[in-house]
Chain A
Amino acid sequence: MNVNAPRRAQLFATCLIETLRPEAGMAVVRVLEKLGVTVEYPQGQTCCGQPAFNGGAWDDARAMAKHTLNVLSKSDAPIIVPSGSCADMLVHHYPELLASDPKFGALAESIAARTYEFTQFLVDVLGVTELDAHLTERVTYHPSCHLLRGLRIIEPPRKLLENLQGGEIVELPHAEECCGFGGLFAIKMADISSAMLERKLDAIESTRAETVVGCDVSCLLHIGGGLHRRGTNIGTKHLAEILDQKS
């Protein structure tokens, strides 16, 4: 572990963890605290605004971005986002959206510079690749698109997973292909999205994994919803939930 690693961090939990998957957020908190990082929860946090940004309602997205920037600027601690997609929004799209804003443009840049996706923070900032946790099941890893191609975080989640004791990791065929979620895309273009999902589900079932692991609750929600509709017993877990498993 890096000697100069920050000892505290702010958690931007994301709206989906807030409402649908709080256990993933609690796992993030426990993993960080076990590593000696004090976790701050900035009050007033809601949603990063990505649905409006991707949906083409940029004025609405700007309002949400400004709100989130205000919430996160009250502390100078680094910001941890347990979602590749929302982290990508903060890191890349806030500065673009607010580039010409005299007040928020610079703030967006400074927040972007200290925002990290969860596994990126563990591996690249804290220098931790081995955690005292047990993998108890057969898992397959789905690298979500914005984590992979937006933030280019490729190795950290895999390293963390591979260094666990026990269990079994099966490589997902065509792992890097999109699951078809895409936010509002899944609703506006539901049929295309579903066709993409079917391929992903076939690939997952072919691994005979018990659990699909990822770093984005959004994609896991999509995949999990599809797996449940198919009537399979395959579950989904955020990587933090795996890293939090007691030995």
Chain B
Amino acid sequence: MHTPNVTFHERVDKALRDQILHTALDRATGRFQTMRLSALASLEDADAVRDRARLIRAHTLSRLDAYLEQFATNVEKAGGHVHFAADASALNEIVNEIARKHDVKTVVKGKSMISEEAELNRALESNDIRVVETDLGEYIIQLAGETPSHIVGPAIHKTKEQIGELLHEKISIPYTDDPAQMTAAARAKLRREFLEADMGISGVNFGIAETGTICLVENEGNGRLTTTAPRVHVALMGIERIVPNLDDLSVMLQVLARSATGQKITVYTNLITGPRRNGEGDGPDELHIILLDNGRSRVLGTEVAEILYCIRCGACLNACPVYREIGGHAYGSVYTGPVGAVLTPALGGIAAWNDLPQASSLCGACREVCPVRIDIPRMLLVERDQATRAGKMAWWLRLGLHLYSFTVTRPALFHAATTFSRWGSRLAAAPTNGWIKRLPPPLIGWTRSRDFPAFAKKSFREQFEASHKK
């Protein structure tokens, strides 16, 4: 994964100043959250279904090698081809190779996070292949030359007014901020692309081991067209996206759309087993499924392995108070929000991504909404510890915490230190009514927006002992 060339703090700074971003995020995440709640309420015993979904993920990952083998065997039995890509460049090479073989000039794409992770578009375009995103959100950010900022809503950072201006400028339609009119305009443009494209590239929500089927959920029908109209279909999936059988799939589908968009089920649920068979009217001549590792197998069996349970619903992003303030781009990775803060360092290395696990107040809202109950705060903590071990903690903080620990484990010293701080803080706060208006560095961040009270005149211990003299 590429690390961005501006620091995390610079990206955050920019995001915090962006009023339009906040308008967009507040509108969208607020609506997602309300709809999620009502959709889950429509599910009988949603908690039990979530428990079941979690068990399915845990079980599958505990014997992923066997399920992957079964999946690959059954895909091939159905006439499809399976490729394993160890990393992003291997994946891009495989796709380019298939494209060369079929003399592909134009590709239509459905939404795929794996493609974003591998930066596939750039790899295809460098071989003079034209790539057209067909998911409306992806289409918008492709026109804008941006990356997705949300797992489910890639253009969530844009207001409808901004999108209206973008479409006016890029595809020359009269300005409108009416979503229905904008959608219709994009649809008209894209319809032709589907018919003319040589290859369709899609993501995969789940691969079903028992049948060799891939499941793809979507709302716009672009996924169905991408996977059926062009003569070659290439489906990209992470190696962890396996479920054992169709019964298990039905459990996952019950929680996926509800958690993601607040729908009971998506408008389209595509189940694809092999390419077009003899006598069938549509479907591709060839189906290629590429399984990407890119660090995932290294995460299996570690303390953060649970992050691979993720089914990419995006509920944790919508619930996250930090995401709502800084948006997705500040994370600097295609995987944003709480899940991204754990997954990106897990896949890309803690040394390069050590800021992400720090960007959380550990409020636990993400764990609360996760359909498979991933303990995200716990894993953020594990990664913070890893970052420290990798020498990534600021020296003043490291020293400060050492000194703090040294003091706290020696009660007499602790009392001396707190007494000292008491007089110091009371002195500093004396001219300002008992509140400190400006703390010294490195604590200065606190008093940029908050006052800090002086220590109490008598400590609790002193007060307790005075009132409980024998």
B-side contacts of A189, CB under 8 Å: 12, 358-359
Residue of A nearest to B454 (CB): A20
Contact A178 B361 (CB under 8 A): yes
Contact B393 A195 (CB under 8 A): no
A-side contacts of B452, CB under 8 Å: 221, 225
Total contacts A-B at CB 8 Å: 196
A181 beta carbon closer than 8 Å to chain B: yes
Distance in Å from the Cβ of B31 to the closest Cβ of chain A? 15
- C-alpha spacing A113/B16, complex, angstroms: 42
Contact B464 A52 (CB under 8 A): no
A46 beta carbon closer than 8 Å to chain B: yes
Residue of B nearest to A190 (CB): B445
Contact A192 B16 (CB under 8 A): yes
- C-alpha spacing A25/B358, complex, angstroms: 31
B448 beta carbon closer than 8 Å to chain A: yes
- Segment with Cβ contacts to A, from B68-76, B110-118, B408-416: B408-416
Chain B binding surface SS class:
helix
Residue of B nearest to A200 (CB): B321
Distance in Å from the Cβ of A54 to the closest Cβ of chain B? 6
B450 beta carbon closer than 8 Å to chain A: yes
B395 beta carbon closer than 8 Å to chain A: no
A-side contacts of B361, CB under 8 Å: 145, 178, 180-182, 185-186, 193, 196
Selected from A29, A47, A184, A186, the residue in CB contact (under 8 A) with B397 is A184
Contact A191 B408 (CB under 8 A): no
Residue of B nearest to A229 (CB): B451
Residue of A nearest to B398 (CB): A57
Contact B381 A53 (CB under 8 A): yes
In the A-B complex, the 9 residue pairs with the smallest Cβ-Cβ separation, listed nearest first, are A190-B445, A182-B361, A56-B384, A178-B363, A225-B450, A149-B364, A60-B405, A22-B460, A194-B449
Which B residues contact A (CB, under 8 angstroms)?
Answer: 12-13, 16, 321-322, 325-326, 357-365, 367-368, 378, 381, 384-388, 393, 397-398, 401-402, 404-405, 407-409, 411, 414, 418, 421-422, 435, 442-443, 445-446, 448-453, 455-456, 458-465, 467-468
21 A-B residue pairs with CB within 8 Å? A19-B422, A55-B401, A56-B384, A56-B385, A60-B404, A64-B409, A148-B364, A149-B367, A180-B321, A186-B445, A187-B443, A188-B445, A191-B12, A192-B16, A192-B325, A192-B326, A198-B449, A222-B450, A225-B453, A226-B449, A228-B450
Which A residues contact B (CB, under 8 angstroms)?
Answer: 13, 15, 17-23, 25-26, 29, 41, 43-47, 49, 51-58, 60-61, 63-64, 66-67, 96, 145-146, 148-150, 176-178, 180-199, 221-222, 224-226, 228-229
